[in-house]
């Protein structure tokens, strides 16, 4: 029998003051799964970035929406599914930024999706009319961490 539930969920309002709560929820689940500190930090940051994008872009800063965060742990896979009912977010519009150009123009923002892709093994967006928007973030136990030189 597993040491922990395969799937756990929390739901928060679409406000940045709930980011801390989401981070704590994901951090505890990732630690329990056996990730080392660096991986835990990376997963937590990726989920924070996804939720921040939802609050800013899908809900346009309104705090009346909901964000549902589900962690599914199976084998070596740690998957975080994040659902919202805000405006559909077009993943095709997110191109990896040219970091040097981005920085040289002192551009602010737009780096969240890039970070998510660097920090996680898989990042997928599912947008279907009439269904909640979904972001899937997957990290495998034992996969290399994102840091300088990798």
Partner 1 sequence: MSDFKVNHREGAGIHVIELKGYLDAHTATDLESAFQRLINDQKFRIVVNCRDLTYISSAGLGVFMAYIEDVRKNQGDIKLTNMSSKVYNVFDLLGFPILYEIYKDEQEAIRKFGESSTGR
Q: Rounded to the nearest whole angstrom, what is the least distance from the CB of residue 103 to partner 1 in the complex?
A: 5
Q: Rounded to the nearest whole angstrom, what is the least distance from the CB of residue 85 to partner 1 in the complex?
A: 20
> Of the two residues 13 and 72, which places its CB atom closer to partner 1 in the complex?
13
Q: Rounded to the nearest whole angstrom, what is the least distance from the CB of residue 138 to partner 1 in the complex?
A: 18
Residues 6+ positions from 64 with CB-CB distance below 8 Å: 13, 14
Q: What is the dihedral of CA 19, 101, 145, 6, to 10 degrees?
A: 40
> Of the two residues 14 and 133, which places its CB atom closer to partner 1 in the complex?
14
> Of the two residues 99 and 126, which places its CB atom closer to partner 1 in the complex?
99
- The torsion angles phi and psi of 64, rounded to 5 degrees, stand at -90, -5
Three-state DSSP at 138 gives: strand
Q: Could you list the residues that contact partner 1 (CB under 8 A)? A: 16-17, 19-20, 23, 37-38, 41, 45, 48-49, 52, 55-56, 99-100, 102-104, 106-109, 111-112, 114-115, 118-119, 146-148
Distances (CA, A) of 19 to 13, 40, 51, 72, 116: 10, 16, 7, 19, 16
> Of the two residues 31 and 102, which places its CB atom closer to partner 1 in the complex?
102
Q: Rounded to the nearest whole angstrom, what is the least distance from the CB of residue 149 to partner 1 in the complex?
A: 10
The answer to whether 10 and 80 are in contact (CB under 8 A) is no
């Amino acid at each position: 029998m597993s040491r922990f539930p395969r799937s756990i969920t929390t739901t928060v309002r679409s406000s940045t003051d709930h980011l801390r709560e989401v981070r704590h929820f994901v951090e505890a689940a990732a630690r329990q799964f056996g990730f080392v500190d660096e991986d835990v930090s990376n997963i937590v940051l990726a989920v924070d970035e996804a939720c921040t994008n939802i609050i800013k872009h899908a809900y346009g800063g309104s705090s009346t929406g909901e964000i549902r965060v589900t962690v599914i742990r199976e084998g070596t896979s740690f998957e975080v599914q994040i659902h919202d009912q805000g405006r559909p977010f077009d993943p095709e519009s997110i191109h990896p930024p040219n970091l040097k150009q981005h920085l040289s123009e002192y551009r602010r923002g737009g780096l969240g999706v890039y970070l998510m892709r660097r920090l996680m093994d898989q990042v997928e967006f599912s947008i279907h009319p009439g269904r909640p928007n979904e972001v899937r973030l997957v990290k495998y136990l034992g996969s290399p961490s994102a840091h300088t030189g990798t």
